[in-house]
Amino acid sequence: MELKKEFLYEGKAKKIYRTSDPDQYLVEYKDDATAFDGLKKGTICRKGEINNTLSALLFKKLASEGIPTHFIKQISPREMLVKAVKIIPIEVIARNIVAGSLADRVGLPEGTKLKKTILEFCYKSDELHDPMINRYHIAALELATEEQLKKIEDYAWKINSILTDLFKQVNIALVDFKLEFGLHHGEVILADEISPDTCRFWDITSGEKLDKDRFRRDLGGVEDAYEEVLSRVQKILK
């Protein structure tokens, strides 16, 4: 069955297609990698397959724990069928350990364990370079209603706790990660992806980075790190 009906949108890491069912989209994960607001471009071999397969496993796990997600099923190594959503233009970032932009913003060294998890919001806008915003901006710009924001926050805390526990079981620290939510028939559901592109993963024993920072910072071993995360998760999730 040919599912791809009509090309809808191409992002930095994925292409979205309409299908014969208006309620379902097809997501194709690409090997393309970008960093620093698109200034650095490259390819990470097999990234599309790895991120698709890992996201599918994590979405299934989250759904089993009561988090509504856009995931329907994985239909090929690099394609998944998802519920059609309108993305809420807010990037939700959860941080357990200081890394990346937070280190610069608060002057704490990378690796500092936070006493409490921090939740941040960024306005999803390429032209504005995704600026950080707070709940007042969200209300004033009508990016989400109060009720929707409450759901988003509630889901984000639960997801952090589920994923932190899950990755700990495979000796990986979930340092920080970014989530996106969408509206499907008016309901807030988790969308986008959960992968080494959107999370920071550190090996608990060695501290080795197993995520996109290897690409951002030219550390080498990028493909191996992505493979490693997937193969560890596959040991505990099917």
Q: In a 3-state reduction of DSSP, which class is residue 2?
A: coil
Which C-beta is closer to ligand UDP: that of 54 or that of 102?
Answer: 102
Q: Is 102 in the site for ligand UDP (CB under 6 A)?
A: yes
Residue with tokens 């505990």: 236
Which C-beta is closer to ligand UDP: that of 184 or that of 214?
Answer: 214
Q: How far apart are CA 34 and CA 4, in angstroms?
A: 25
Of the listed pieces 69-77, 93-101, 149-157, 202-210, which binds ligand UDP according to CB under 6 A? 93-101
Mutual angle of helices 146-168 and 222-236, in 10-degree steps: 90
Q: How far apart are CA 165 and CA 188, in angstroms?
A: 24
Of the listed pieces 17-25, 159-167, 192-200, 202-210, which binds ligand UDP according to CB under 6 A? 192-200
Q: How far is the CB of 101 from ligand UDP (least distance, A)?
A: 4
Q: How far apart are CA 229 and CA 210, in angstroms?
A: 7
* Binding positions for ligand UDP, 193-232, rule CB under 6 A: 198-200, 212
Q: How far apart are CA 198 and CA 196, in angstroms?
A: 5
Interface with ligand UDP (CB under 6 A), residue from 30, 178, 184, 209: 178
Q: How far is the CB of 175 from ligand UDP (least distance, A)?
A: 7
Closest CA to 163 of 228, 155, 106: 155
Q: Is 47 in the site for ligand UDP (CB under 6 A)?
A: no
Question: What values do phi and psi take at 97, rounded to 5?
Answer: -135, 145
Interface with ligand UDP (CB under 6 A), residue from 177, 202, 215, 226: 177
Binding residues vs ligand UDP (CB under 6 A): 91, 93, 99-102, 130, 176-178, 198-200, 212
